[in-house]
Structure 1
Amino acid sequence: MPVKPPLLSVAEALKFLLKSAVPLSEIETVPTLEANGRVLATAQVSRINVPGMDNSQMDGYAVRAADCAGGETRLRVSQRIPAGHVGAALESGTAARIFTGAMVPAGADAIVMQEACEVDKDGSGDHVIVRHTPQPGEWIRCTGEDIKAASTILSAGIRLRPQELGLAASVGLAELPVLRKLRVAVFFTGDELAMPGEALKPGAIYNSNRFLLRGLLENLGCDVQDFGIVPDRLQATRETLRAAAAGRDLIITSGGVSVGEEDHVKPAVEAEGRLNMWQIAMKPGKPLAFGEVHRAGGGKAFFLGLPGNPVSTFVTFLIFVRPFLLRLQGVEQVAPRVLSMRADFNWLKADRRQEFLRARFNDKGGLDLFPHQGSGVLTSTVWGDGLIDNPPGKTIAEGDQVRFIPFDNLLN
């Protein structure tokens, strides 16, 4: 009787996947306005200082600090400087009305906010009474305070978020070099699958994984080609694999990777390329297939076969597929942020596998656990805020600290 191979740990499987991921090399230039979610191909250096000149942090009055050293001071208002305008050099013994972001005039070395001043109009012209003794440099943003010319502002291998786009725009970068989008194919096997809107025949189920996987891939900026539901036939599965490999970097399926008579994905991939079948010590999840499908003209597309239960599909995607995709896209930092949180529940059913439990924040600063942790309970993924990463063989008592990975860190 053949001996079953030992279960791989989550860490071992993830290490193998990431080692196999060869990042994309094709670079394209896109407008900065259209670069959200893309991976930056090369580091970006600022050609300018930000701010480009000393400017006011406040609406108020630009003064010479020495003119206000004696306490409450009455100064003539010699000019008015809105943002975007350049004032004249400030005369000694005068103040300039100035607005937030306006260039500080030569000769001025401090800003007094308007709340500390009182306008005094008399027959000889406008004056201001300064009721504050400023220090040199007060409320002035200095040239290059945020960014110095020739400094690196963005590193290669990061996924661009709105804040990175704003930073790029602040130094005048109208375009950014990014890696091309990852091309991913998906298809779903099973004669029992139906699409929403269709009548369910006896024994049929709606194909929730199609919507789940496409949404996850689109959140990660992938160019998705959906081959839909493929009949449970070996030849149909092989034909779909060949078509998917022709123009894609990665093929993802859910279900059909077991060894039953109606599970045709495993022999189809082995016929069209090669396959590693893993049993992983995790719950939910366990079965995961990784390999490659050869292209007719040379080259290959990676293949990942996920389990068919929807929660298993969801969790294995987040734990394995997400970091693999990010590494293919050239992202260096692929590990999610993990929080140490207090468990406000008891979990007394220790499992020999590493568990990923659906939980959510409560208003007491701790975590509540979804009562049903089955691999088909998709409602747990909607109810929850993230996954508790529970080591093998560990129970959880109320008050224990647990490792919690928020979905916010896993879904983009």
Structure 2
Amino acid sequence: MSGALRGVRVVDLTQALSGPFCTSLLADHGADVVKVESPRGDFLRNTGPFAADDEHRPYGGVFGSANRNKRGIVLDLKTAEAREVLLRLVDTADVLVENFSAGVMERLGLGYDTLAARNPRLVYTSIRGFGDAVGGKSPYRDWPAFDIVAQAMGGLMSITGPDADTPVRAGSGLGDTVPGLFAAFGTIAALREAERTGKGQYVDVAMVDSVLAVSEVVVNTYATAGVSPRPIGNQLQGFAPFDTVRAKDGKVTLGAPHRPQWTKLCDVMGRPELVTDERFATDHARWVNRDAVYKIVNAWTERHTVAELVELLGGKVPLAPIMDAEAIFADPHFAARDMLPTVEQPGTGRRVAVTGVPVKLSGTPGEVTRRAPLLGEHTEEVLREAGFDDAAIDSLCAAGATIRRGEAE
């Protein structure tokens, strides 16, 4: 692997989405990430979408994207032999990431204190619904959590949707991927400190905390004005126009809340007098009189098609068509930015797209070079690197501590 994190070794004990998303970000930038699965595998393997001609279904699309660029091994950590193998891997690792329930690693004898005693440089990152005791012991520490729980308790659902009676979960798994982003950031920060001091540390990330951290409207509005904000559809508190507006054949998003943008919009609409109209003369006035703003804007936009609005306003005022997957795959921006690289899909023999690397480093760019691993695909390879010979691997298989790739299929 090339990339800024080449040489960094990561033991990945994660499953579902939040943890694998975190470690995929590290892998994209060159870290050697070894995904450790139980013999039954990460349950996300069994979650679609699956291609219609994929008869074997080794994993679905979400697993494939969240686990690209990794190698995969099988260890049954319920066995003493497998736990000893993991300790051997930790001895030469820079990072371990896990998202088990609180206390699981301690019950396995693999808690942070145990691992740090063996490898003081180790950065140990955990992602849990409500965090671990390291960052402050939550009364909900032992509660299980999914994305929708994090979005609900982190405040995002309270401001998402058409109105206060219809709270809506964001359509993607932000309750998983946002914690994954913060976990990756925290891991890199801790790695930097370990490089300076030779001492690792525990990186404690809570899914709920992470969602709250990006729900800025919730915290800022209540802290400043003492008001709990409520959903207002696609609008943004204090900004107008900032919403979806009607076109002749659909809708577009439009943002012109500040005077320079509002002035350009008024010019294109042929309504320059609106710039000095006292109802719309300031950013705040446009928000207070937003109903009138949207009545005027919609009366103009609905006379044009989406394509015409893009032609009239694109590059002048923040505006965008609402793009679905088909449109994204056809759009030149995402091709130019390499945001839809392809990897082999082992169940079909075809290549399928995964999301690309959004962080573009000029000198050491990240890249997607490897599909997600089959269950146990690299078990023998990784164990040999760790010093196990064929006889030792045979012994581990006989003890039920691991399985080879052929036995996992």
Band the TM-score falls in, shorter-chain normalisation: under 0.3
**TM-score, scaled relative to structure 1:** 0.26
Which protein has the bigger helix share? 2
Max Rg structure: 1
